[in-house]
Amino acid sequence: MIKLEGLSKVFPGHSIPAVKDLNLEIQEGDVCVLVGPSGCGKTTTMKMINRLYEPTGGAIYIRGENALQMDPIKLRLDIGYVIQEIGLFPHMTIEENIATVPNEKHWPKDQTKQKVEEVMTLVGLDPEVFRARYPAALSGGQRQRVGVARAMVSDPPIMLMDEPFGAVDPITRARLQNEFLRIQERMGKTIVFVTHDIDEAIKMSDTIAVMREGELVQHATPSDLLSAPADEFVSNLVGRNRSIKRLHLIRIQEILEEVDRTKPATEDAKVDEIKKQLEESDIRSVMVVDRDNKLKGVIGVSDLKQKAGEVAGDYCSEVADTVTSDATLNDALSVMLECGEGYVAVVNEDDQYQGTVTLGDLLNVVKEDS
Amino acid sequence: MGQIIGCISDFFRVTGNLTLLSAQGEDPGLIRETINWISRRSDMLLDLMVGHLYLVVVTLIIAIAISVTVGIIISYYEGVAQTVLGICQILMVIPSMAMLAFMVPLFGIGFTTGVVALVLYSLLPIVRNTYTGIRELDPAIVEAAKGMGMTERRVLFKIKIPLARPVIMAGVRTAAVMMIGIAAIAAYVGAGGLGELIFSGISRGHQPMIIAGAIGVSIIAVAFDYLLYYGEKRFSVEGSTREGE
């Protein structure tokens, strides 16, 4: 889909090239993450793909066509572009911002309007609420969503994303990443994604291209990168705790079937039964759900000591935080650490109980791998 | 609030300068005399105010057209920008009497000479503000616009100019107030306006005329600035929702 051949860039007035003889091929539908320390040429490489920077050597092929011979405006209109600072236009409403590319392409008004609504819903912004707002009235996370929506609205086959989730807090970032992966699963776009965060790279990518001082050091799948780093630079970048990094690669749904789940108790289950169940096994708590399988709370061994009533509903205490099954094991781990519990409940979008992941499950995964 | 204080200070600057020319000693009857003069000759005063306003408006339109264009052009050519701004600066520090005197051999006596001189004076604030307004836009915004496939022309008209407009308008307002003051002196080369009243007041030693002229100039300056300020605010509703405010 995208092929970079001997790509180089020397900025005027600099003797050292920013990008040196780079060869990289990205398959259709893949997310390729360019990762490396700042100044390694990853952003420069990305900006050459949509020709914000003109390469000083080499060639770029997009679907076999030489991008350097195409009209840059036409080229850019078909490449979604998200930058770190988002670059929303402060004098335009969210709707106008998202409609930028359709307006440049002179789409009919109804089509633009419909597509804007569609893409806003896709990124989780209610069109009725946000359409007429200005960027200044949005939170950091919402602006990032608008940035992504704006890049996707004309359904470009290729997207370039330069640290698109950089400017938000870690929790929002994890959520945006998961949402984005969910969208990408459906859309199957070819994405070039730039980040300096190796954890994000491992999480988001199909392939990772590690860069240093303008050169490509290694291009491999995240799993290969973790198990066989090409040199010391890559293994330093990946870090010592590689087995923990693997937790970024595995989604909860992948292990949920394997782990031995204790059945949740219903709200109106007899307390005595639960007591017996807990005493017989080595588990120390049981989840409580209502009739619609919605998570109500959790009963721990200590909760049962005081006498509050006859049924489970009277005893259960609220669960501090939950994860969805498309979150990674690393997300599950951080929730556990935050709540100070050895488990986390997994729910779907409607808050229905899916299962529980424990610290032990995570340890097993890490053990298997190493 | 700051706006109101700004208006008041403009008022005193203009009135102060012109009354100083004439204030030789206290004259208890001066205020009454002035009021009498104004009520007797209100037609003439109004005519001159209209003439003054006409001179300023014509000049301002020409000045905006030239200066904004120059400002935009030099925002693309960093190399010449400092030279152009330097020339504008030099033009602005030439004393107004001297400037008008230079213009007479070129354009003769009359309205045109006044307009040319005033346009030259107002170049600096508008050119500089247009240039800075565009140069200091968040580069991420411009890059996003280009990266999404906007042509340079569209980036200029859809992104750069609308976003730089408040800064450009601030320059226009500075130029306008300055111009209203200097326009009074342009009467010296026959450009008309309230300056006529002031100059003939000075040559005849008739203080009420001078004061009436000064008051007229002040009223125009304050009203004009107010109009430009609120006109701009009304015009840009989204001004209050801009990022970082």
Put simply, whether A53 touches B (Cβ < 8 Å) is: no
* The pLDDT value given to residue A179: 87
Could you report how far apart the first and last alpha carbons of chain A are, in Å? Answer: 34
Cα torsion through B3, B7, B12, B17, rounded to 10: 110
Asked if the structure places residue B34 within a domain, the reply is no
- Sign of the alpha-carbon dihedral angle for B28, B33, B35, B36: positive
Residue of B nearest to A147 (CA): B144
* The pLDDT value given to residue A80: 92
Phi-psi region of A242 (alpha: psi -120 to 50; beta: other; left: phi over 0): alpha
ipTM for this prediction? 0.71
Average pLDDT, chain B: 83
Put simply, whether A167 touches B (Cβ < 8 Å) is: no
Asked if the structure places residue B162 within a domain, the reply is yes
Distance from CA of B148 to the nearest CA of A (A): 6
Domain coverage including residue B97:
44-234
- Sign of the alpha-carbon dihedral angle for A198, A199, A202, A207: negative
- CATH architecture designation of domain A2-249: 3-Layer(aba) Sandwich (3.40)
Cβ within 8 Å, pair A136-B244: yes
* The pLDDT value given to residue A77: 92
Asked if the structure places residue B54 within a domain, the reply is yes
Asked if the structure places residue B26 within a domain, the reply is no
Put simply, whether B79 touches A (Cβ < 8 Å) is: no
Task: List every span in chain A annotated with CATH 3.40.50.300.
Answer: 2-249
Query: How far does CA A143 lie from the centroid of its chain?
Result: 16
Which band of pLDDT confidence, cut at 50, 70 and 90, is reported for residue B229? confident
Q: How many CB pairs under 8 A join A and B?
A: 77
Asked if the structure places residue B212 within a domain, the reply is yes
Distance from CA of A179 to the nearest CA of B (A): 23
Residue of B nearest to A71 (CA): B149
B242 contacts on A by Cβ (under 8 Å)? 90-91, 134, 136
B238 contacts on A by Cβ (under 8 Å)? 90-91, 134
Asked if the structure places residue B241 within a domain, the reply is no
Within 86-125 of A, beta carbons closer than 8 Å to B belong to: 86-91, 100-101, 104
Residue in the block written with tokens 């930028």: A100
- CATH code, B67: 1.10.3720.10
* The pLDDT value given to residue B244: 38
The list of chain A residues with pLDDT below 70 reads: 240-241, 260-262, 307-308, 368-370
Top-confidence residue, B76 or B240? B76
B151 contacts on A by Cβ (under 8 Å)? 73
Under CATH, what is the fold of the domain A253-369?
A: CBS-domain (3.10.580)
- For residue range A7-26, what is the model confidence (pLDDT) as tens digits? 999 999 888 889 989 999 99
3-class SS of residue A246: helix
Question: Within 13 Å, how many C-alpha atoms sit on residue B220's CB side?
Answer: 32
- For residue range B15-44, what is the model confidence (pLDDT) as tens digits? 555 555 455 555 557 888 888 888 888 888
Cβ neighbour number for residue A122 with a 10 Å cutoff: 18
Put simply, whether A367 touches B (Cβ < 8 Å) is: no
Compute the distance between CA of residue A128 and CA of residue A120 in angstroms, rounded to an integer.
10
Q: Examine the pLDDT at B240 and tell me if it is beyond 50.
A: no
Residue of B nearest to A103 (CA): B150
Q: What phi, psi does B187 have (nearest 5°)?
A: -60, -25
For chain A, what is the radius of gyration of the CA atoms? 24
Put simply, whether B241 touches A (Cβ < 8 Å) is: yes
Asked if the structure places residue B138 within a domain, the reply is yes
Distance from CA of B155 to the nearest CA of A (A): 11
- Which site among B78, B136, B148, B151 would you substitute to test the A interface, given the most A Cβ atoms closer than 10 Å to its Cβ? B148
Enumerate residues 6+ apart whose C-beta is below 8 A from A142.
A125, A130
A142 contacts on B by Cβ (under 8 Å)? none
Distance from CA of B57 to the nearest CA of A (A): 29
Distance from CA of A182 to the nearest CA of B (A): 24
Asked if the structure places residue B52 within a domain, the reply is yes
pTM (2 decimals)? Answer: 0.72
Domain count for chain B? 1
What is the percent of chain B with per-residue pLDDT over 70, rounded to a whole number? 84
What is the percent of chain A with per-residue pLDDT over 90, rounded to a whole number? 36
Residue of A nearest to B151 (CA): A73
* The pLDDT value given to residue B188: 83
Cβ within 8 Å, pair A52-B143: yes
Q: Using CB atoms within 10 A of its CB, is residue B161 exposed (0-12), middle (13-18) or buried (19+)?
A: middle
